[in-house]
Structure 1
Amino acid sequence: MDYIPDRLRAGEQPADALEGEYGADADAPVWPVEPGRYRLVAAKACPWANRSIIVRSLLGLEDVISLGLPGPTHDERSWTFDLDPGGVDPVLGIERLQEAFLNRDPDYAKGITVPAIVEVETKQVVTNDFPWITHDFFFEWRDHHRPDAPDLWPDECREEMEAVMKRVFTEVNNGVYRCGFAGSQEAYESAYERLFAALDWLEERLTDRRYLMGESITEADVRLFTTLARFDPVYHGHFKCNRNKLSEMPALWGYARDLFQTPGFGESIDFEQIKAHYYVVHTDINPTGIVPLGPDTAGWLTPHGRG
Structure 2
Amino acid sequence: MSYVHPGEEYSRDSRYLTTRITADGRDGFPVEPGRYRLVVSRACPWASRAVIVRRLLGLEKALPMAIAGPTHDERSWTFDLDPDGRDPVLGIERLQEAYFAREPGYDRGITVPAIVDVPTGKVVTNDFPQITIDMSLEWRPYHRDGAPELYPPALRSEIDAVNQVVYKDVNNGVYRAGFAGSQESYREAYGRLFARLDWLSERLERSRYLVGDTLTEADVRLFTTLVRFDAVYHGHFKCNRQKLSEMPVLWAYARDLFQTPGFGDTVDFDHIKRHYYLVHEDINPTRIVPVGPDLSGWLEPHGRAALGGRPFGEGTPPQPVSPEEAVPARHTPLTP
* TM tier, smaller: over 0.9
How far did residue 85 of structure 1 move?
Answer: 1.1
Distance 1:41 1:146, change over 3 A: same
d(CA) in 2 for partners of 1:25, 1:88: 30
d(CA) in 2 for partners of 1:113, 1:263: 26
Matches within 5 A, 1:96-115: 96-115=94-113
**Which residue in 2 is equivalent to 1:169?**
167
1:36 paired with 2:34, answer: yes
d(CA) in 2 for partners of 1:306, 1:16: 37
d(CA) in 1 for partners of 2:143, 2:24: 20
d(CA) in 2 for partners of 1:103, 1:246: 42
Q: Which amino acid aligns with 1:68?
A: A
d(CA) in 2 for partners of 1:195, 1:56: 28
d(CA) in 1 for partners of 2:185, 2:18: 31
d(CA) in 2 for partners of 1:23, 1:149: 18
Deviations 1:24-80 (A, max 9, x none): 362x4x112111101100100000000000000000000111010000000000100
Match among 149, 156, 159 for residue 158 of structure 1: 156
TM-score normalised according to structure 2 size: 0.86
What percent of counterpart residues are identical? 65
Unpaired segments of 5 or more residues in structure 2? 5-9, 306-336
**Which residue in 1 is equivalent to 2:294?**
296
d(CA) in 2 for partners of 1:285, 1:151: 40
How far did residue 120 of structure 1 move?
Answer: 1.4
Two-structure CA RMSD over aligned residues (Å): 1.3
> What SS class does the counterpart of residue 39 from structure 1 fall into?
strand
Match among 5, 8, 11 for residue 6 of structure 1: 11
Unpaired segments of 5 or more residues in structure 1? 9-13
The question of whether the paired residues in 1 share the 8 Å contact of 2:25 and 2:31 is answered with no
Q: Which amino acid aligns with 2:279?
A: V
How far did residue 206 of structure 1 move?
Answer: 0.6
> What SS class does the counterpart of residue 126 from structure 1 fall into?
strand
d(CA) in 1 for partners of 2:24, 2:44: 32
1:58 paired with 2:50, answer: no
TM-score normalised according to structure 1 size: 0.94
**Which residue in 2 is equivalent to 1:271?**
269
1:15 paired with 2:20, answer: no
Aligned length: 298
d(CA) in 2 for partners of 1:32, 1:139: 13
How far did residue 19 of structure 1 move?
Answer: 2.2
1:49 paired with 2:47, answer: yes
How far did residue 109 of structure 1 move?
Answer: 1.9
How far did residue 20 of structure 1 move?
Answer: 3.4
The question of whether the paired residues in 2 share the 8 Å contact of 1:7 and 1:15 is answered with no
> What SS class does the counterpart of residue 96 from structure 2 fall into?
helix
